[in-house]
Structure 1
Amino acid sequence: MKMFLSLFLILKSNFKGLVFTACIVAFSFYLSSIPSIKENTHLAATAFAIIIGVLFSPYFFKYQHHLRVGVHFSAKKLLKLGIILYGFNITLNELLNVGIWGFLLSFIVILIIFLIAVFVGVKILKLDKETSMLVGAGSAICGAAAVLALESSLKSDASKGVLAVGSVVVFGLIFMFLYPVLFSLDFLNLNENAMGIFMGVTLHEVANVVGATQIAKDMVGFSQNAANLAVIIKMMRVILLVPFLLIVAYVITKTQKKEGKNSFKKITIPYFALIFLFIIMLNTYLFHQEKFLGIYTQDIINAMKMLCNICIVFAMAALGLQVDFKNFIKSGLRVFVLALILSLVLFFGGYFLVLEFQAVLC
């Protein structure tokens, strides 16, 4: 009874924003189902959701006092649920095949991007250290989730987090659309699996990775195995957010103690990444069973995959709605420049790393 009451209260508080986002989601699925549009645009529902969301973003900001809660719920909670359920696309064997090399690749990317962000942001662009760290975390690890997690630890001004999230969202969207196009043109000269790794190790948001693989599937028949590689590598970066936050907390707390300060907040742990791992193990078990609790396991897996796709499209629509280009360009040009530099380093540096690691990962 309490569970249904909690669910009712959540739906009530988020109703207007959820309905608004749901309309975009429904229209996105409709557009992606029309054969003529699909053949000419090669865009999946995820891509349509972002485009329509961006187009309606001025309307969202105009009426955000009514819509904000539901849209934010879609962008954060439904995204996490979608990523958790994405585990039904992956088995433990696939995760183990990536293994230590995948973690090493993810670790190298996080370390290099974060250090470059702090150096370039502070020394060259003359940004404050907190803003540079936030943009670096968002670019290196998992986008807005990393920014918000680090922001809560740093106790920085909300405006810094907004700018950092804005920069990550903008470049995440740009590269999410760019990668499938480059792959379809064979510009990068990477096979499917190597391209999946490239997406997973360089795209900003988890939603960007999922979106890019979905678009690539629709454009050039990108394989499910390559899409799984992309998500696995990306989730390894997400999982590394945990030790990253702990290390940053330790370093800054030590510095603050020397300076006589003690204002560090409790670390925010990305538990959804750990639940994602549990779902992968559950899916591995179901994969070898005909029935589970009297229900055919394939029916369960298919239903979870469908729910996952719906949640992801909701998150993509909400992500597009929150893009405020005018305000971002006005108030954060140097932050924008830092995010651009980091995105280019991710692109070219990530490409080089994938070429070096593809022999052991593909």
Structure 2
Amino acid sequence: MNMITSTIYKQPLLSGIAFTALLSAAGFLAAQLPGVSQIGPLAAAILLAVLYRHYFGYPEQMKSGIQFAAKKLLRLAIILFGLRLNMNMIVNEGLPLLWKSVLVIIFAVGFMVLAAKMFKADLSLMTLLGIGTGICGASAIAAVSPIIHAKEEDTAVSAGIISIVGTLFAIGFTIIRPILPLDADAYGMWAGLSLHEIANVALAGEPAGADGLGMAFLAKLARVFLLVPVSLLLLWVMKLRSKGENQGSITFPWFLLGFIVMSLFGSYVEGTYITIPDPVMNNLLTLTSFLLTMSMVGLGLSVSLRDVRDRALKPTVILIFVSILLAFFTYWIF
């Protein structure tokens, strides 16, 4: 034990990274259990991190490694996440979906911000939830949080909330599908335009068969495609605000360029000039999910249940309400 303790103090960077990896692995294992499997490993890992902080306190001796996971690994995960975006598919088949995706984002963010003002909810938290709802859940939240200078606590809480609520809605979609007057393609498109996470879309779209699931992913990818322009728009807004409030310059999110490069590589290079075996690609996508989970664990360790207990309830209720409205809205526009 003394040797372990000594190692922790001598190598806080490595031990902190290892600790976030351990909790992430625990989240992935927990996600294999009945019931927990529905919320997914990311939400499970965040919950474990929050509970650890609540019962054992923040591990200050490993702070540098935890911060590295929360910030550096987060950016690496977002860059690798670009591999999930097939730009070629969007350009060839999904352009008509882009304007609908724009409407979805405007609807989600607009209603969240409006609700925050009406019900006096935390504006930063609600903005993150709105962007996550409109684009791609926790991944979008992770991408924009550095741009709007969101607190680590807000990022972790909003990612956890949207993962759980999104899963509940995905399950709800599969339950009501048999009674909907929609064919497989229409149902898939509706799910892709409505649900929060890519994993939620996969869960809800699978009962519609290969064609329905394909349409669901296409609609979802159209929303993911807008992550970069939305991020750049937020960057511009923050720069204007910083000039008006004299808060200094806003750092450009260079990791978004990496996201674009990886998207271009996966869309136009891989499979045409370079072929990556499916097992390797699948492992790389799993690594991306694991790195994102590690970064969320790092953020989750900064969350104090005592501080957010009252703050999280209202945004969760509002998120559920706005998600219901979004489901009706997308059903109407598609």
The partner residue of 1:352 within 296, 320, 328 is: 328
Cα deviation, residue 138, structure 1: 1.0
Structure 1 residues 87-102: aligned runs within 5 Å = 87-96=82-91, 97-99=93-95, 101-102=97-98
Q: Secondary structure at the match of 2:103?
A: helix
Give, in whole Å, the separation in 2 of the partners of 1:116 and 1:235.
Answer: 21
Question: Is the 1:81–1:308 contact (alpha carbons within 8 Å) kept by the matching residues of 2?
Answer: no
1:212 counterpart (197, 200, 208): 200
1:121 maps to which residue? 116
**Partner of residue 286, structure 1:** 269
2:129 and 2:141 in contact (8 A); partners too: yes
Shift in Å, 1:242: 0.9
After TM superposition, the structure 1 = structure 2 runs for residues 1-362 of structure 1, keeping only pairs within 5 Å, are: 14-29=13-28, 43=37, 47-60=40-53, 62-96=57-91, 97-99=93-95, 101-102=97-98, 104-122=99-117, 124-126=118-120, 131-132=122-123, 134-141=124-131, 142-151=140-149, 161=151, 164-165=154-155, 167-186=157-176, 189=180, 191-199=187-195, 203=196, 209-213=197-201, 223=213, 226-227=216-217, 229-250=219-240, 252=241, 256=244, 262-289=245-272, 292=274, 297-299=275-277, 302-316=279-293, 318-319=295-296, 321-322=300-301, 323-330=303-310, 332=311, 336-338=313-315, 340-345=317-322, 347-358=323-334
The structure-2 alpha-carbon separation of the partners of 1:180 and 1:343, relative to structure 1 and needing over 3 Å to count, comes to closer
Cα distance 1:270–1:281, how it changes in 2: closer, same or farther (>3 A)? same
Q: For residues 222-265 of structure 1, give each alpha carbon's deviation from its aligned partner in whole angstroms, at most 9, with x where no partner exists.
A: 84663464244134145312113313543x367x3xxxxx5133
Are the equivalent residues in 2 in contact too, given 1:92–1:281 (CA < 8 A)? Answer: yes
1:103-161 deviation line (CA, Å, top 9, x unaligned): x3343344444444554434x3456xxx52x2343123232543442237xxxxxxxx3
Q: Does structure 1 retain, via aligned residues, the 8 Å contact 2:147–2:234?
A: no
Tell me the residue number matched to 2:183. Answer: none
Query: Which amino acid in structure 2 is aligned with residue 55 of structure 1?
Result: L
Aligned to 1:206: none
1:24 is aligned with what amino acid? L
Q: CA RMSD in A?
A: 3.8
Cα drift, residue 72 of structure 1: 4.1
CA–CA distance in structure 2, aligned partners of residues 219 and 72 of structure 1:
40
- DSSP-derived class of the 1:43 partner: helix
Q: Which amino acid letter does the alignment assign opposite residue 50 of structure 1?
A: A
Q: Is the 8 Å Cα contact of residues 174 and 207 (structure 2) preserved in structure 1?
A: yes
CA distance in 2, matches of 1:74, 1:224: 33
User: Is the partner of 1:265 in helix, strand or coil?
Assistant: coil
Residue 178 of structure 1, CA deviation: 1.1
Aligned partners of 1:28 and 1:48 also within 8 Å? yes
Q: Could you tell me the percent identity over the aligned residues? A: 18
Alpha-carbon distance between aligned partners in 2 of 1:269 and 1:100, rounded to the nearest angstrom: 30
Instruction: Give the superposition deviation at 1:328.
Output: 0.3
Q: Which secondary structure does the structure 2 equivalent of 1:185 belong to?
A: helix
Secondary structure of 1:264's aligned partner: coil
For the residues of structure 1 that align with 2:29 and 2:78, how far apart are their CA atoms? 23
Work out the CA distance in 1 between the residues paired with 2:319 and 2:31: 32
Q: String of CA shifts for 1:307-359, please: whole Å, max 9, x gaps.
A: 231231342355354454332025x36xx5256325522x133213322443x
Gaps of 5+ in 2: 1-10, 132-139, 181-185
Q: Matches of 2:25 and 2:206 in 1, distance apart?
A: 18
Displacement of 1:85 in angstroms is: 2.5
TM-score normalised according to structure 1 size: 0.66
Distance 1:226 1:120, change over 3 A: closer
Structure 1 gap ranges (5+): 1-11, 153-160, 204-208, 257-261
